[in-house]
Amino acid sequence: MSSIPKSTKAWTVHGANGFDSLKLNEQVPVPEVSDYEVLVKFHAASLNYRDLIIPKGLYPFALADDVVPGSDGAGEVISVGSKVTRFKPGAKVVTLFNQGHLGGSLNPQTYATGLGGVIDGTLRQYGTFNENGLVDMPPSLNWHEASTLSCAALTAWNGLYGLKPVKPGDVVLTQGTGGVSIFALQFAKAAGAKVISTTSSAKKAEVLKKLGADEVINYKEFTEWGEKAKSLTAGGEGVDHIIEVGGSTTMEQSLKAIKIDGVISVIGFLGGNGEKEPSFLEALLKLCTVRGILVGNRIQFEEMNRAIEINKIKPVVDEKVFSLDELKEAYQYMWDQKHFGKLTIKIE
């Protein structure tokens, strides 16, 4: 266990002037833990698209002033408050995105507990958290792998298990090679589903197949990939679960691929301009279910971690790793879409 320095590094976000809004603070005092809190020494964090748009002023939700950014992080519990029961010093932990989302659905209160938005996040050396806002890290993962679970993995898990749990024999469709999509592919394969993945290049198709995709459709070749995907299901009945990350253009195809009573999980903020978006009446015509999701709750997180552990699932992490000091460069690298898999930050 590390000894605790008196003062430590933490990034904060000031305004909305792009990545220059990020400021590295070098002399931040390490907060004391109160009764139900634990002090975490972070070892790694991972970035999400949401992190990038916060300093760019494009994030449409509430933000605290000068918030410490970053929702995803993995670290070690250094000390615990007098009434803490969930963790002991030395425990390896991962952060929960919505700190108050302990089970069931979000509500107006817990909706406003996002790390790195309204609550200080993970892009710092040390942080204190209510013991309820952390989960045990799957022992088989390293810090970097574990740091990717908070948002991307849990969103994928919620899509596959939050409404109608995937069963062996179901068909799952994933789009592209973003973090959520790759986790969805991995979870669906672990669950005995058939996975159809879309992508734009032969090279990425190879990676998707290595990760287990049964079928890969190049959506540049098959612009009508919805019909194509449907034709790849037994009896042409369609896809049971679609993890919809793209927005209006992909949604149109997803509606062609989906099975009766199939579920399209809509996530992320990548959507289009709204002009050509399919209307809700399509759900009637296709007799399918469309569900909007925002990450997931702690019970789901713990269930997911059991699945990761038992199935030896390894999060796909970009080989390029940035140090905490290089955070702005990391943001730019990800903004330029140079990454494959989750981009992580090493925190020493």
Q: With contact defined as beta carbons under 8 Å apart, do 156 and 172 qualify? A: no
Residues 120-179 binding a copy of itself (CB under 8 A) are 130, 132, 161, 163, 165, 167-171
Residues 310-339 binding a copy of itself (CB under 8 A) are 310-311
Nearest to 13 by CA among 116, 133, 87, 105: 116
| Among 74, 77, 123, 193, interactor with a copy of itself by CB under 8 A | 193
Question: For residues 93 and 193, which CB has a smaller minimum distance to a copy of itself in the complex?
Answer: 193
Residues 4-33 binding a copy of itself (CB under 8 A) are none
Question: For residues 275 and 336, which CB has a smaller minimum distance to a copy of itself in the complex?
Answer: 275
Question: For residues 18 and 247, which CB has a smaller minimum distance to a copy of itself in the complex?
Answer: 247
Residues 205-264 binding a copy of itself (CB under 8 A) are 214, 234-237, 247-248, 251, 259-261, 264
- Taking the complex as a whole, the smallest distance from the CB of residue 109 to a copy of itself amounts, in Å, to 6
Question: For residues 73 and 100, which CB has a smaller minimum distance to a copy of itself in the complex?
Answer: 100
**DSSP calls for 231-269:** HTSGGG--EEEEEE-S-HHHHHHHHHHEEEEEEEEE-SS
Q: Which residues, 6+ apart, have CB-to-CB distance to 165 below 8 Å?
A: none
Encoded one letter per residue, x for contact with a copy of itself by CB under 8 A and - for no contact, window 38-77 reads: ----------------------------------------
Residue 308 within binding range of a copy of itself, rule CB under 8 A: yes
Which DSSP helix (H) or strand (E) runs through 135?
strand 134-136
- Taking the complex as a whole, the smallest distance from the CB of residue 39 to a copy of itself amounts, in Å, to 14
CB-based burial label for 238 (10 Å; 0-12, 13-18, 19+): buried
